[in-house]
Chains A and B, each alone.
Chain A
Amino acid sequence: MVKIETSVNLARKVRLHAVRMVNKGGSSHIGSVLSIADILAVLYNNILSFRPNDTKWDKRDRFILSKGHAGAGVYAVLAESGFFRTDKLLEHYQDGSVFSGHVSHRGVPGVELSTGSLGHGLPVGAGMAYAAKIDNKNHRVFVLMSDGELNEGSNWEALMFSAHHKLNNLVAIIDRNHLQSMKSTEETLALEPLADKFKSFGWHVSVIDGHDHDKLTDTLNRKYTTPHIVIANTIKGKGVSFMEDQVVWHYKTPEGELFDQAIRELESQ
C-alpha cells in the first residue's frame, strides 16, 4: 500500500524547512530545492529502504543528490526521516556548521556522497551499481540530477558505461525544470530531444510529472532490463507562487515579507 498522503505531507515539510533554512542562512538555490521536494519525499517515504540508526546497513538503497546545490532539501528529508533532529537544520550555512550549502557527507548521517560540482553523481552511482552487480546484492542506486547538469560531459560517459554493463539496478532522475543558472536549458545548450538521447544511449526512459506522487511512486518502483532514467517534469520554485519558474530564485534569499508569504503559502497547502 503506497503512502501517498504521507509523502505529500513530507514534501510540504521539506519545502517549509528549506525556505526557513535558506532564509536563516542567507543562502540561495531555494528554487532548485522546491523543484525536487516531491521527488525527495516520494523516494524517502515510498521507495528507498534505509535504517536511520544504521546508515551503513548493507541492504539499504543508495541515494545520491548529484545537483548538490539543492542540499538543503536532502538535509530536510533526512531529518524528517529520522537520521538526525530537525532542529539541527537551522545550522545550515552558519559559521562552523557541517550543513554546507552543497550537500556534504561529513558529519551528516545518511548522506552517501558529497557533491557540489556538477556531473559527479552519475559516475559514482554507476560504480555503486556495478559493485552491487558483481557482489550479487539486490539494493538499488538512485541518482537525482538537474537538467542543466547534463551539459557536463562526464554524465554522458556514465550513461554509456551504465547501459553497456546493463546496470538495471541504477535509476537516474532528471529534475527537468527547464531552467539553469542564467536562462532556460534550451537557450543555453539545448537538451531536446532529451528522451530520444537517453533512449539512443540504451536506457529505459520514463517521462512523468515530477510533482505527481502517485506517478513518481509507480514509476520509481518499476524495474527493467536496462538502467532506468526518469525525466521528471518539474517547476523550479514549485509551491511558492512568486518563485515558480523564475530563474532569479536560483540565487535570491527569501526575506522579510516575501519570506512570510512563502511560509504562509506552504503552510496552507
Chain B
Amino acid sequence: MRNALMKSLFELAQHDTNVMLLTGDLGFGVFEKFEEAFPGQFLNVGVAEQNMMGVATGLALEGKKIFTYSIGNFPSLRCLEQIRNDACYHELNINIIASGGGFSYGALGMSHHATEDLAIMRALPGVTVVAPCTPEEAGEATRQIISVPGVGYLRIDKSSACEPDSPPEFILGKSRTLREGKDFTIMVSGGIAEEVMAASVKLSELGIECKVLSIHTLKPIDKEAIISACQDTRGIMTVEEHTLIGGLKSAVNESCSDLSVYPEHSLHMGINDHYVETVGSQGFLRNKLSISGSDIVESILKIFA
C-alpha cells in the first residue's frame, strides 16, 4: 500500500505546488525521492506530532493542501486535540496518513498497535475516514481525499488483499465489490481483507458463496450497500483489525439502526475490548485473536450448519 500511496503523493505534488507532505521523522527509505523532487513541498518537523498538526493547520490556513505522515497512533492519538480543535474546527484540507494499521507492527508491541484509531477519528465531525483494503484502493484514496473538503484520515496497512480480475471503480464513500456471492455478505475495512478473500474462496469450495464488500470508507459509509447486503443475502459479517467498539461493526450497525434494516444474521470479527500483551507478526496476532481467515470460515459455517 505504501508504494501506491507514494506514487499518488508524487503525482499530486507534481500537479499542484500547494500540496505539501509533513512527516514526524518517519519514512526512512520512503520519502527521499519525494524530498529530492519537491524540496519546498516536504517538511520533516521532527518527532513532534503536536507541533506537526499545529504547523499543518497554519500552513492549511494559508492555502496549502496538507498530508501529515507518521506510523501507528502517532499522527492520530498523540495529537488528537490538535486534530480536533485546530484542523477539524477550522475545516482545513489536512489529510492524516497513519502507516501501519491494526497489527502491521505487531511485533513492536502495544504502543505500535493501531487498534482504536478508526473509532476515534470517526467520532470527529467532518472527518473522512478511510482504511483501504488493496494497494490500488490506497493509491486512489490518496488521490481523491485531497479533493474532499475538510480533514481526511487514511489508514495504510502493511498487509493487503489483491484486486479482483475486473476491478470496480474506486469512489470515496462507495463500497467496492471484491467478490460476488449470493449467500452471505462479508464487509471489510483494511488489509485484513486478505483474510476475508482467502475465507471466501474456502467457503465457496464448501458451497457457500460470499459477497465481499470493501468498506474502504468508514465515514461517510455506503448505506445503500448495507441495505442491499441485509436484504439480498442471509446475513452480514463485519471484519476489522480494530476494536469492536466504534469501528466498522459500529458504523454498519448504526446504519442498520438508522435505516431500520436488519440482517437475518449478524456476525462481527474484531478485537474484543482489551490490549494484546504478547507480540508477533500480523498473521500470528490475527490467529491469536480469532480474526483470521479460518476463524471467518468457521463462524459463517455455523450459520449454514
- Out of A106, A114, A122, A128, name the residue touching B62 (CB < 8 Å): A128
- Out of A112, A113, A115, A130, name the residue touching B55 (CB < 8 Å): A130
Residue of A nearest to B40 (CB): A134
Query: Which stretch of B44-52, B69-77, B98-106 is in the interface?
Result: B44-52
Report the bound CA distance from A248 to B89 in whole Å: 31
> Contacts A134-B40, A161-B45 given: A126-B86 contact, CB under 8 Å?
no
Report the bound CA distance from A119 to B57 in whole Å: 14
The 8 A CB mask of B25-58 against A (1 = contact, 0 = none) is 0000000000000001001011010110111111
B61 at the interface (CB under 8 A from A): yes
Report the bound CA distance from A125 to B56 in whole Å: 10
Contact A135 B62 (CB under 8 A): yes
- Out of A105, A116, A119, name the residue touching B90 (CB < 8 Å): A105
Report the bound CA distance from A6 to B82 in whole Å: 37
Contact B45 A124 (CB under 8 A): no
- Out of B40, B43, B45, B85, name the residue touching A120 (CB < 8 Å): B85
B81 at the interface (CB under 8 A from A): yes
Contact B54 A158 (CB under 8 A): yes
**Chain B residues near A114 (CB-CB < 8 A):** 85, 89-90
Contact B54 A123 (CB under 8 A): yes
**Chain B residues near A116 (CB-CB < 8 A):** 85
> Contacts A129-B58, A131-B58, A154-B51 given: A160-B85 contact, CB under 8 Å?
no
**Chain A residues near B89 (CB-CB < 8 A):** 106, 114
B286 at the interface (CB under 8 A from A): no
A221 at the interface (CB under 8 A from B): no
**Chain A residues near B59 (CB-CB < 8 A):** 127-128, 130-131
Number of interface residues of B (CB under 8 A): 25
Contact B90 A154 (CB under 8 A): no
Residue of B nearest to A64 (CB): B58
Contact B81 A127 (CB under 8 A): no
B37 to chain A, nearest CB (A): 16
Contact A161 B58 (CB under 8 A): no
Contact A124 B64 (CB under 8 A): no
Report the bound CA distance from A12 to B113 in whole Å: 55
A117 at the interface (CB under 8 A from B): yes
Report the bound CA distance from A113 to B89 in whole Å: 10
A153 to chain B, nearest CB (A): 7
Contact A131 B62 (CB under 8 A): yes
Contact A123 B62 (CB under 8 A): no
A residues 117-169 near B (Cβ < 8 Å) are: 117, 119-120, 122-132, 134-135, 141, 153-154, 157-158, 160-161, 164
> Contacts A105-B90, A113-B90 given: A127-B57 contact, CB under 8 Å?
yes
B256 to chain A, nearest CB (A): 34
A194 to chain B, nearest CB (A): 20
Interface residues on A, range: 20 to 34
A229 to chain B, nearest CB (A): 16
A252 to chain B, nearest CB (A): 27
Report the bound CA distance from A164 to B45 in whole Å: 10
Contact B61 A113 (CB under 8 A): yes
Report the bound CA distance from A124 to B40 in whole Å: 19
Report the bound CA distance from A129 to B55 in whole Å: 9
A residues 52-82 near B (Cβ < 8 Å) are: none
Contact A153 B46 (CB under 8 A): no
Contact A161 B85 (CB under 8 A): no
Contact B48 A161 (CB under 8 A): yes
Report the bound CA distance from A154 to B79 in whole Å: 10
**Chain A residues near B54 (CB-CB < 8 A):** 120, 122-124, 126-127, 154, 158
Contact B61 A128 (CB under 8 A): yes
Residue of A nearest to B89 (CB): A114
**Chain A residues near B64 (CB-CB < 8 A):** 131
**Chain A residues near B90 (CB-CB < 8 A):** 105, 113-114
Report the bound CA distance from A25 to B294 in whole Å: 62
Most B C-beta atoms less than 10 A away, residue of A114, A127, A141: A127
**Chain A residues near B57 (CB-CB < 8 A):** 113, 123-124, 127
Q: A123-B55, A124-B55, A127-B60 are in contact. List 7 more A-B contacts (CB 8 A).
A: A120-B85, A124-B54, A124-B61, A131-B58, A157-B51, A160-B48, A161-B55
Chain A positions near chain B (C-beta within 8 angstroms): 105-106, 112-117, 119-120, 122-132, 134-135, 141, 153-154, 157-158, 160-161, 164
Report 22 cross-chain contacts, Cβ distance below 8 Å, ordered by A residue: A114-B89, A117-B81, A117-B85, A120-B85, A123-B53, A123-B58, A124-B57, A127-B55, A127-B57, A127-B58, A127-B62, A128-B62, A130-B43, A131-B59, A131-B62, A131-B63, A158-B51, A160-B48, A161-B46, A161-B48, A161-B55, A164-B46
